[in-house]
């Protein structure tokens, strides 16, 4: 039985071991600080190992889902297009958006600083103008002129604090304001001053020491900052640093109050509306300005303003400072670029979807085709769409399945033909005589080795009476089934003629009977077969009492009689049978003495060629027969066929049917 512990992974085993150790130390924790420390260490290790196991599990889940999702080529191409097209485009868009923010927001901060400096310059111009007027006036009138100015100035500058030096003592507004000595760095200063934790817009006009001078200061309120750049957004004050040496700190803007003591309006009240959905609001962007510290007299650049705006608002403020023609051109160019970009995106998407659909559809069609082939359906054809390499692949697949279907049909047809050939071979084997007739002084043997399943050669021997036997031997033109059919017809005709003659043949003259049989066989073959299906025929009838062999040789290779080592060829007595119906045949006869050997053969034993295209020939065949004439008939047939095979060099395919008929007169 397998151990369950071994089935767990290494990390799971470590986790269970840590849990076991952690629980085992729990009862001893109050007894020792060391145990508590060990449990803390084990707890940290449990967290680490648990995170590792969860990460591995998540990786496996993602990998499994990814494999299932990416199994289809369409999904793979979608992922590829995402990483090749969508992801870079989104990244470029994000970079462009970030770049626009990083470009426009510093410009917005610069506009805020420029507006503050412009307001400070205007305040300084008012103070300097009054200072020049005081210097140009009589000394006794300076105080009255200054007081008149201070009575009207608060209407222009809410919360104004002023200090006027006329030479006969300072004049302050309101009473009790700006007491004590002024910082030396304040001379001819215009800008922002931090005094007692509050920020002021200040301008100090002083031409020369001892001459009339004027210091104007008013607090930076929410209402004043809201009117600073209303088209840009909301400008507010950030939190002041804790000390002069503090670093810059970017914080959310502190709550501002109006002069009436009410809370400042929300940012949306001063923020321009978005131009498009992606025109996001940017909060708390720092806008630096130079600040003079009243207490220390030092001037430094500080991020005292925070800006809430939109990129479109910054762009609008920039364009408002340009000529109408340039604004119109920039607007038209922006629309043209956006339209071109949208058209390019649409065209790219359509092209990508079209290409993807074409490719994935072709691959899916091929997949469906392979499923049909796997089920044995070779008639299915893959649809061919468009003109591409995938189309050619589909066409090749269809050609392949058509070829396979055709080959299967050919294979079935070949199997059917082979089955029919096997049947024909069995039928033909039944046509050849099963055993030779037994005569006291005569023996005969026939052997046929077809070049194909069936043969066009034939031989036969029939016992006519107690002392007579008929021999027939022939070769049908051609090979294969057609020749075998003609052979069967000739065999049937010969047997029929012999049966019709019956017992009359015993008393009749053998020569006349052989000629009459050949003539009748020729007539029936001409009537029942095509003109090109002729055959050669050797028919003989042997009478052992007289030792005479009456025969008809209708166009066949002359058989050979071998006597005492000498070969004699029989003559040809007529033309082939089955070609001309009016042909007549004559018979001849020879005597066979004891020990004579009669051999009939077909051209399959004389015409085979060696590798040098030289035929075996009748002369070599006769010489071979002469050498083995004393052997038993079976050994003679085997020896002759083996010698012909050796001559052809054991070719992989037999060139023609090999048939031999051997007869011997016994003593």
Average pLDDT over residues 502-522: 77
Query: H/E/C letters for each residue in 551-609?
Result: EEEECCCCCEEEECCEEEECCCCECCECCCCCCCCCCEEEECCCCCEEEEECCCCCCCE
Q: What burial class does residue 439 get, using C-beta atoms within 10 Å of its C-beta: 0-12 exposed, 13-18 middle, 19+ buried?
A: middle
pLDDT in tens, 264-310: 444 455 677 887 777 778 888 888 889 998 888 888 888 888 888 88
The DSSP element (H or E) to which 47 belongs, if any, is helix 33-69
| Residue 171 near residue 150, CB atoms below 8 Å | yes
As a dihedral over the C-alpha atoms of residue 165, residue 170, residue 173, residue 177, rounded to 10 degrees, the angle is: 120
- The DSSP secondary-structure symbol of 120 reads H
Architecture of domain 432-665: 4-Layer Sandwich (3.60)
Q: Are 233 and 310 in contact (CB under 8 A)?
A: yes
- Higher-pLDDT residue of 92 and 315 is 92
Strand partners, 603: none
Enter the DSSP assignment of 185.
G
For residue 71, pLDDT beyond 80: no
Name the token pair of 85.
Answer: 């097209």
Tell me which residue of 479, 493, 485, 475 sits closest to 530, measured CA to CA: 485
pLDDT beyond 80 at 503:
no
Q: How far apart are CA 624 and CA 564, in angstroms?
A: 14
Distance, CA of 461 to CA of 60 (rounded, Å): 86
**3-state DSSP assignment of residue 114:** helix
- The residue with greater pLDDT, 278 or 405, is 405
Supply the DSSP symbol for 386: S
Q: In this predicted structure, what is the pLDDT of residue 502?
A: 61
Q: Which two tokens stand for residue 78?
A: 């979608």
Average pLDDT, the chain: 82
Q: What is the mean pLDDT of residues 341-352?
A: 86
**Can you give the pLDDT at residue 270?**
66
- Terminus-to-terminus CA distance in the chain, angstroms? 89
Cα-flanking dihedrals φ and ψ of residue 202, to 5°? -130, 150
CA distance 43 to 47: 6
**Residue 577: predicted pLDDT:** 92
| Stretch 529-539: mean pLDDT | 87
Nearest to 657 by CA among 641, 633, 643: 641
- Counting residues of the chain whose pLDDT is more than 70, the rounded percentage is 92
Confidence at residue 260, expressed as pLDDT on a 0 to 100 scale: 36
Residues 456-492 pLDDT 10s: 888 999 988 888 899 999 998 877 788 888 888 888 8
pLDDT tens figures, 219-271: 988 888 888 888 888 888 875 443 333 333 333 333 344 443 334 444 455 67
pLDDT category of residue 4 using cuts at 50, 70 and 90? low
The CA-atom distances, in angstroms, between 623 and each of 267, 568, 571 are 128, 12, 19
589 vs 211, more confident:
589
pLDDT of residue 253: 37
Give 124-178 as a DSSP string. HHHHHHHHHHHHHS-HHHHHHHHHHHHHHHHHHSTT-EEEEE-SSSEEEESTT-S
Whether the per-residue pLDDT at 348 is higher than 70: the answer is yes
Q: Cα-flanking dihedrals φ and ψ of residue 374, to 5°? A: -60, -30
Return the DSSP state at 257.
Answer: B
**Confidence class of residue 559 from pLDDT cuts 50, 70 and 90?**
very high
317 vs 503 pLDDT, higher one:
317
> In the 8-state DSSP scheme, what is residue 211?
S
Closest CA to 229 of 115, 308, 319: 115
The 10s digit of each residue's pLDDT in 436-459 is: 888 889 999 999 988 877 888 889
Ramachandran angles phi, psi of 24, nearest 5°? -70, -30
Alpha helix (H) residue ranges in 438-562: 480-501, 504-507, 510-528
Query: Once rounded to an integer, what is the mean pLDDT over residues 63-70?
Result: 74
pLDDT, average across residues 65-69: 73
pLDDT band at residue 619 under the 50/70/90 scheme: very high
Gap between the Cα atoms of 364 and 74, Å rounded? 9
Q: Which residue has the higher pLDDT, 548 or 378?
A: 548
Structure tokens that stand for 591 in this block: 């005597």
DSSP for residue 463: E
**Position with higher pLDDT, 461 vs 530:** 461
Supply the pLDDT for residue 542: 92
Q: Which two tokens stand for residue 457?
A: 């050669």
Q: Is 474 helix (H, G, I), strand (E, B) or coil?
A: strand
Calculate mean pLDDT across residues 524-539: 87
Which of the pair, 596 or 369, is modelled with greater confidence?
A: 596
**Sorting pLDDT into bands at 50, 70 and 90, what band is 311?**
confident
Check pLDDT > 90 for residue 184: no
Residues forming beta bridges with residue 282, ordered by sequence position: 309
Average pLDDT rounded to a whole number, residues 336-346 = 89
Whether pTM exceeds 0.75: no
Q: Where are the beta strands (DSSP E) in 282-332?
A: 282-293, 299-309
Any idea which residue has 């009492």 for tokens? 545
Confidence category of residue 6, pLDDT binned at 50, 70, 90: low
pLDDT of residue 244: 34
pLDDT digits (tens, 9 = 90+) for 100-149: 777 778 888 888 888 889 989 998 888 888 888 877 777 777 778 777 88
Angle (deg, nearest 10), helices 510-528 and 480-501: 140
The residue among 590, 576, 457 whose CA lies nearest residue 521 is 576
Q: Beta strands 597-601 and 658-665: pairing type?
A: antiparallel
Rounded to an integer, the average pLDDT of 172-195 is 83
* Residue, of 346 and 211, whose pLDDT is higher: 346
Question: Per-residue pLDDT tens for 7-62?
Answer: 667 777 787 888 888 788 777 777 777 877 887 888 888 888 888 888 888 888 88
More confident residue, 155 or 412: 412
Evaluate whether 541 touches 462 at the Cβ level (below 8 Å).
no
Asked whether residue 508 carries a pLDDT value surpassing 60, the answer given is no
Token representation of residue 488: 């069967």
**Chain-centre distance of CA 25, in angstroms?**
57
3-class secondary-structure state, position 449:
strand
């Amino acid at each position: 039985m397998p151990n369950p512990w071994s089935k767990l992974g290494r990390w799971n085993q470590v986790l269970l071991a840590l849990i076991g150790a952690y629980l085992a130390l729990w009862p001893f924790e109050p007894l020792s600080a060391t145990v508590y420390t060990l449990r803390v260490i084990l707890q940290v290790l449990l967290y680490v190992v648990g995170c590792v196991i969860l990460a591995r599990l998540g990786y496996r889940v993602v990998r499994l889902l990814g494999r299932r999702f990416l199994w289809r080529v369409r999904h793979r191409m979608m992922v590829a297009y995402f990483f090749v097209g969508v992801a870079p485009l989104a990244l470029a868009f994000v970079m462009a958006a970030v770049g626009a923010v990083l470009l426009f927001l510093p410009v917005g901060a610069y506009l805020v600083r420029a507006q503050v400096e412009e307001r400070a310059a205007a305040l300084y111009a008012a103070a300097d103008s009054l200072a020049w007027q005081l210097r140009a006036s009589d000394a006794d009138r300076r105080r009255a002129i200054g007081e008149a100015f201070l009575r009207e100035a608060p209407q222009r500058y809410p919360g104004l604090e002023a200090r006027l030096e006329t030479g006969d003592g300072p004049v302050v507004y309101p009473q009790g304001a700006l007491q004590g000595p002024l910082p030396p760095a304040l001379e001819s200063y215009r800008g922002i001053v931090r005094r007692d934790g509050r920020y002021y817009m200040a301008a100090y006009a002083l031409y020369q020491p001892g001459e009339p001078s004027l210091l104007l200061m008013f607090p930076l309120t929410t209402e004043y900052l809201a009117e600073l750049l209303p088209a840009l957004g909301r400008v507010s004050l950030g939190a002041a640093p804790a000390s002069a040496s503090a670093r810059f700190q970017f914080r959310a803007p502190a709550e501002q109050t109006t002069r009436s003591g009410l809370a400042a309006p929300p940012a949306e009240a001063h923020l321009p509306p978005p131009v498009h959905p992606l025109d996001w609001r940017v909060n708390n962007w720092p806008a630096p300005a130079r600040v003079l510290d009243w207490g220390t007299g030092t001037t430094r650049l500080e991020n005292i303003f925070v800006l809430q705006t939109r990129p479109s608002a910054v762009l609008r403020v920039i364009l408002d400072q340009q000529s109408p023609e340039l604004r119109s051109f920039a607007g038209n160019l922006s629309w043209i670029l956006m339209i071109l970009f949208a058209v390019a995106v649409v065209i790219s998407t359509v092209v990508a979807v079209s290409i993807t659909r074409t490719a994935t559809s072709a691959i899916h069609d091929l997949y469906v085709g392979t499923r049909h082939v796997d089920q044995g359906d070779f008639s299915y054809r893959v649809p061919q769409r468009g003109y591409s390499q995938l189309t050619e692949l589909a066409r090749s697949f269809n050609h392949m399945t058509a070829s396979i279907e055709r080959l299967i049909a050919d294979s079935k047809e070949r199997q059917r033909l082979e089955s029919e050939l096997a049947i024909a071979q069995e039928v033909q084997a039944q046509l050849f005589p099963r055993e030779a007739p037994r005569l006291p002084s005569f023996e005969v043997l026939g052997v046929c080795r077809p070049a194909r399943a069936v043969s066009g050669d034939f031989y036969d021997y029939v016992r006519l009476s107690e002392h007579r036997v008929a021999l027939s031997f022939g070769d049908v033109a051609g090979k294969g089934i057609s020749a075998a059919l003609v052979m069967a017809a000739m065999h049937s005709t010969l047997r029929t003629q012999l049966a019709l003659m019956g017992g009359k043949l015993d008393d009749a003259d053998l020569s006349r009977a052989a000629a009459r049989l050949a003539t009748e066989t020729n007539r029936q073959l001409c009537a029942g077969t095509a003109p090109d299906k002729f055959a050669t025929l050797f028919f003989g009838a042997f009478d052992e009492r007289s030792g005479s062999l009456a025969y008809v040789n209708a166009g066949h290779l002359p058989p050979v009689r071998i006597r005492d080592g000498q070969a004699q060829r029989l003559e040809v007595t007529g033309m082939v049978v089955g070609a001309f119906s009016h042909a007549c045949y004559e018979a001849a006869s020879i005597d066979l003495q004891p020990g004579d050997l009669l051999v009939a053969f077909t051209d399959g034993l004389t015409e085979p060629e060696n590798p040098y295209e030289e035929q075996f020939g009748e002369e070599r065949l006769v010489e071979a027969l002469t050498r083995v004439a004393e052997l038993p008939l079976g050994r003679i047939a085997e020896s002759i066929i083996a010698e012909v095979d050796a001559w052809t060099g054991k070719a992989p395919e037999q060139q023609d049917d090999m048939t031999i008929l051997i007869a011997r007169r016994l003593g």
